[in-house]
Amino acid sequence: MKGSLLENNLPACDPNAVWEDGGVSYTLCTKRYSHWKYKSETELEFLSETKIATCDTWNPFIRRFESKKTAIIIMDPWINTPSDFGNEYFGRVTDEKILPLVRAAQKSGHQIIVLSDDPSGPYNSKIPQELQEMVDDGRATLFVHGKTSLEDFKNYALQHGIEKFVYTGFCTNICILFRELGLPNIVRLRIGEAYLIPDCAAAMEHGDTWDSQIVHQSAALLISQAQALLIEYEDIMNAITK
């Protein structure tokens, strides 16, 4: 995101994509923002026994993904929020970023998980028709908030061999952070690695920040510092698209 809190100069790495058995393995340069200086991916640089070097910069973390062991998770992609503005604002992200990602991810063997409220509700209940069709024919799995416990989700992930959880959807500052099946709780389960694709998400902004998306950027920055590594949209699309 050029000109934003998430802008960085870290280069993309060669995805070295290997296609076989209906799936693909690939490499991504994921990112974490840190006040502390990293000596390596797993080691901070100490100045002394009690002092750590600082740098306030983005740090690269090279990760290898296997599509069959990676889930693309779409949080609350509703098309019937109680706000016409919200439907249009969040709908743009869904149509322009999330759905193209889901199509490419499903074709390349990724597991697709949709998180949503009870489909019978009067609002915040309907998902895009394309996602609903994927759920209906088994190409995606739907988990309903309040009816799926964290333990249920953990068991599903273990049974299906999911080791990497890539979050997208809405909202970065609310549901992705605070839902029971939100990103932080998945991190606490310690059953795999969590990631966020900022371009495939958006926040509930404040009155004058809808254009700048500063709330979304701040939430994604916070997530990168304490919870998950960030993935650039272009990098993963390039890796999983033949």
Q: What is the pLDDT of residue 41?
A: 85
Q: Is the pLDDT of residue 168 over 70?
A: yes
Q: Is the pLDDT of residue 224 over 80?
A: yes
Residue 13 binned pLDDT confidence (cut-offs 50, 70, 90): confident
d(CA 79, CA 129): 9
Q: How much is the average pLDDT of 71-82?
A: 98
Give me the residue spans of the domains in the chain. Answer: 32-59, 63-240
Q: Is the pLDDT of residue 1 over 60?
A: no
Q: How much is the average pLDDT of 62-91?
A: 97
Runs of H (alpha helix) within 1-93: 84-93
Segment holding 100, helix H or strand E: helix 99-107
Q: Is the pLDDT of residue 65 over 80?
A: yes
Beta bridge partners of 62: 29
Report whether 93 contacts 202 (CB < 8 A).
yes
Q: Per-residue pLDDT tens for 181-222?
A: 999 999 999 999 999 999 999 999 998 999 999 999 999 999
Half-sphere exposure of 100 (CA within 13 A, CB side): 14
Mean pLDDT of all residues in the chain?
95
pLDDT above 90 coverage of the chain, percent:
89
Q: Per-residue pLDDT tens for 14-37?
A: 999 999 988 999 999 999 999 999
Region label for 138, one of left (φ > 0), alpha (ψ between -120 and 50) or beta (otherwise)? left
- Chain mean position to CA 60: 17
Number of neighbouring beta carbons within 10 Å of residue 41: 11
CATH code for the domain defined by 63-240: 3.40.50.850
Max distance between CA atoms of the chain, in angstroms, equals: 59
User: DSSP labels for 160-210?
Assistant: TT--EEEEEEE-TTTHHHHSTTSHHHHHHHTSSEEEEEEEEEE----TTTT
Closest CA to 174 of 206, 126, 130: 206
d(CA 166, CA 229): 9
Closest CA to 222 of 1, 35, 44, 41: 35
Q: Is the pLDDT of residue 166 over 90?
A: yes
